[in-house]
Amino acid sequence: MTEAGAGMTPVMAIALVGVLGVGAQWLAWRLKLPAIVLMLLAGILIGPVTGIFDPERDIGDLTEPFISIAVAVILFEGGLTLSLGTLKGVAQGVRRLVLIGAPLGWLLSSLALHFGAGLTWETSAVFGGIMIVTGPTVIAPLLRQARLSRKPSALLQWEAIVNDPIGAMAAVLAFEVVRIKYLDTETMGEAIFSVVGGILFGIAVGSLAGWGLARAFKRGWVPEYMKVSVLFTVLLGVFALSNWTLHESGLLAVTAMGVILANANLPSYEEIRRFKEHATILLVSGVFILLAASLDFSMLGQLTWRAALFLVLVIFLVRPLTVYTSLIGSDVGWRERTLVALTGPRGVVLVAVAGLFGARLSGLGVEDGDLVAPLAFALVAATVVVHGFTLAPLARALGLTGAEQPGVLVVGGSRWSTGYAEALKKAEIPVLISDRNLSHLRPARSAGIPVFFGDVLSEDAEHRIESAHFARLVAVTDNDAYNTLVATDLGHEYGRDNVFQLKRANEESARNSLPATLGGRLFAQGLTYDELESRHRQGWEFRTTRLSKEYTLEHWLEQRPDSVIMTMIYPNGQLRFPGPETEVSGGEGARIVHFSPRKAEPKTAPDAGKGAGDDA
């Protein structure tokens, strides 16, 4: 490395890691590229390529404990997402991927390491255990970008989070066997008893901590403003205590703690989970940048052509064979099996744990222990790039992703919302109407519009509504408070810019207005439910108009000054919902979904070209 960053202080280094990590994620969002790939490139660029940043030089001994704690927090947050309710419809598949897939993956990975990479059986057994891990740090961003259907998404998420600590424990068990062989300090039975005892202790500590926190939060023993602080403190304590008993068992303990809290029905669970998600995004960014910047090209120089053979075997043979074998006779369809079989990215947990055990194997005198770290990094880089660029296209080819055209979820059934949904459907925009009152859904059912009967905020809706099919949500019930609740609660899932609601009645006065942090953006150009209902009774109807070179938006506005623009549909498929103060724009090929007074349409317009003004 060069000495370009020799003068960098730890504070500057940490700030650089944060800026690059978050910046890479933002750039990936803008360019619609896999965020993990950009973070990996950013770390390599500032580390081994330019020498601007060297974690060991600029941060020092704090690097390893930071990565350990970050991995613990990431796995805990993953455990928080594992509500047992999400297992509905995928429980059998998840059970098989864990109980059959984990040991089978360990065996097949060890064989690939021995016969493909040419490692000794000792190193292959230890590293093969670590390779059970598929990486929640990588899976989560990929799922967010690919917008998978619920079933394959749940399978990949559960497998990644549950198998992470299992992989670490498998590596611990294999290492203990190797250690006894080389040092002969204790019997095999004593070593296995020690490992099993440490695993059980970690599960017990994590579960007890989760149960205790849930009880304390429910009974009000911890004030609201201290809940996250107490949670972090207990998390670190559980991780440290379990690791002190058996190294790496802390990962198992924090995962168990997260699962217990996820299923404790805490009233403040959503706030805790969202805060943890934000923390995890920062930590994933930081860890990837640190690990990539720590890469030593001379270390990769130790790898031969057999490393490439090993990667091909793992990606195209070991992973598919493990998944297909595990799911034989299960209720998982062939499309889901294929997607899961061809998706097995590895992440920071594998690199961090592999580096640790590689050094330990070398310390025992295992001749190829120093090859574990470079092989682990090569595996992470290869799987991140391969699956990062293939998951979304593969999911689309298998029909396991949201529609190509982003859809609209309409919360609130009525005659006029059904008319709006019909206009969207005719424009080939996927649409679903949800309502808690079955009678409100009758017009939609009669019109052939897909409906969901139930509360859109319920757990049942979470399982039955394929949110990947809908990029926008509009809350248009006759209850302003419920519209605000829906927009506020689901704003996190859809994004604040993609959640809309009707204007609340009597909100002009400061006394009745709500904070800007509540609710969504205004829909129907700022009209209230009563105003829309009144116009519908007067005979107003929903129509769609296509603009052309001759029949422009200005011409349309002149002809229909009283119309309400509900949605603009642009040629690239993007949707826009103009607000009361939003400047409306649209060129040739754009379509206007509008709510207009019923009137006779001119058969020809002096300023309209062919195909323009084709209201329907």
CATH number for the domain spanning 141: value is: 1.20.1530.20
pLDDT for 66 equals 83
- Helix H or strand E segment including 451: strand 451-453
pLDDT for 359 equals 80
Q: Which residues are CB-neighbours of 128 under 8 A, at least 6 positions away?
A: 106, 107, 109, 110, 111, 112, 113, 170, 174
Instruction: Describe the crossing of helices 249-262 and 150-183 by its angle, rounded to 10 degrees.
Output: 150
Same domain (yes/no): 207, 300: yes
Looking at 397, 417, 433, the residue that finishes a domain is 397
Same domain (yes/no): 198, 337: yes
Residue 37 domain-assigned (yes or no): no
Q: What is the mean pLDDT of residues 229-242?
A: 91
Q: Which domain holds residue 207?
A: 65-397
Q: Are strands 591-596 and 541-546 parallel, antiparallel or unpaired?
A: antiparallel
Q: Residue 605: pLDDT band by 50, 70, 90 thresholds? A: very low
Residue 266 domain-assigned (yes or no): yes
End-to-end Cα spacing for the chain: 67
Same domain (yes/no): 238, 262: yes
Residue type (1 letter), 522: L
Same domain (yes/no): 465, 348: no
Residue 402 domain-assigned (yes or no): no
- Helix H or strand E segment including 212: helix 188-218
Number of domains making up the chain:
2
Looking at 397, 431, 459, the residue that finishes a domain is 397
| pLDDT at residue 248 is higher than 90 | no
In the chain, % helix, strand, coil (3-state, to 5) comes to 65, 5, 30
Same domain (yes/no): 171, 291: yes
CATH of the domain at 545: 3.40.50.720
DSSP 573: S
Percent of the chain at pLDDT > 70 equals 90
Q: What is the mean pLDDT of residues 489-500?
A: 85
| pLDDT at residue 560 is higher than 50 | yes
Residue 429 domain-assigned (yes or no): yes
pLDDT for 139 equals 78
| pLDDT at residue 455 is higher than 80 | yes
Cβ contact 279:73 at 8 Å: yes
Residue 473 domain-assigned (yes or no): yes
pLDDT for 511 equals 52
- CA proximity to 239, closest of 65, 63, 62, 69: 69
Cβ contact 48:40 at 8 Å: no
Residue 357 region by backbone torsions, left for phi larger than 0, else alpha for psi between -120 and 50, else beta: alpha
Same domain (yes/no): 388, 414: no
Cβ contact 248:71 at 8 Å: no
Can you say how many angstroms the Cα of residue 379 is from the centroid of all Cα atoms in its chain? Answer: 22
Report the chain's mean pLDDT, rounded to a whole number: 83
Phi, psi (deg, nearest 5) at residue 145: -80, -40
Model confidence pLDDT, tens digit, residues 139-198: 777 776 777 777 888 888 888 888 878 887 888 888 888 888 777 666 777 777 777 888
Beta bridge partners of 542: 595
Model confidence pLDDT, tens digit, residues 303-314: 888 999 999 999
| pLDDT at residue 317 is higher than 90 | yes
Phi, psi (deg, nearest 5) at residue 282: -65, -45
Residue 108 domain-assigned (yes or no): yes
Residue 191 domain-assigned (yes or no): yes
Cβ contact 138:384 at 8 Å: yes
Q: What is the mean pLDDT of residues 269-289?
A: 75
Looking at 336, 364, 397, the residue that finishes a domain is 397
The whole-angstrom separation of Cα 172 and Cα 185 is 16
The whole-angstrom separation of Cα 80 and Cα 384 is 24
Same domain (yes/no): 411, 269: no
User: For residue 369, what are the CA distances in angstroms to 65, 120, 128, 169?
Assistant: 22, 9, 13, 18
The whole-angstrom separation of Cα 421 and Cα 446 is 12
User: For residue 104, what are the CA distances in angstroms to 273, 326, 443?
Assistant: 33, 8, 53
Residue with tokens 């960053």: 5
- CA proximity to 569, closest of 407, 458, 432, 354: 407
Q: What is the mean pLDDT of residues 483-492?
A: 88
Same domain (yes/no): 495, 360: no
Same domain (yes/no): 367, 444: no
Lowest-pLDDT range of 223-232, 251-260, 396-405, 598-607 = 598-607
| pLDDT at residue 371 is higher than 50 | yes
Residue 144 domain-assigned (yes or no): yes
Q: What is the mean pLDDT of residues 420-433?
A: 91
| pLDDT at residue 137 is higher than 70 | no
pLDDT for 435 equals 93
pLDDT for 107 equals 95
Model confidence pLDDT, tens digit, residues 341-350: 999 888 777 8
Residue with tokens 């070179």: 549
- Helix H or strand E segment including 322: helix 319-326
Q: Please work out, in degrees rounded to the nearest 5, the angle formed at the alpha carbon of residue 473 by the alpha carbons of 471 and 475.
A: 180
Same domain (yes/no): 320, 456: no
Same domain (yes/no): 448, 375: no
Cβ contact 187:180 at 8 Å: yes
Q: What is the mean pLDDT of residues 269-274?
A: 69
Question: pLDDT higher for 87 or 602?
Answer: 87
Q: Residue 114: pLDDT band by 50, 70, 90 thresholds? A: very high
pLDDT for 514 equals 65
The whole-angstrom separation of Cα 573 and Cα 79 is 36
Same domain (yes/no): 393, 423: no
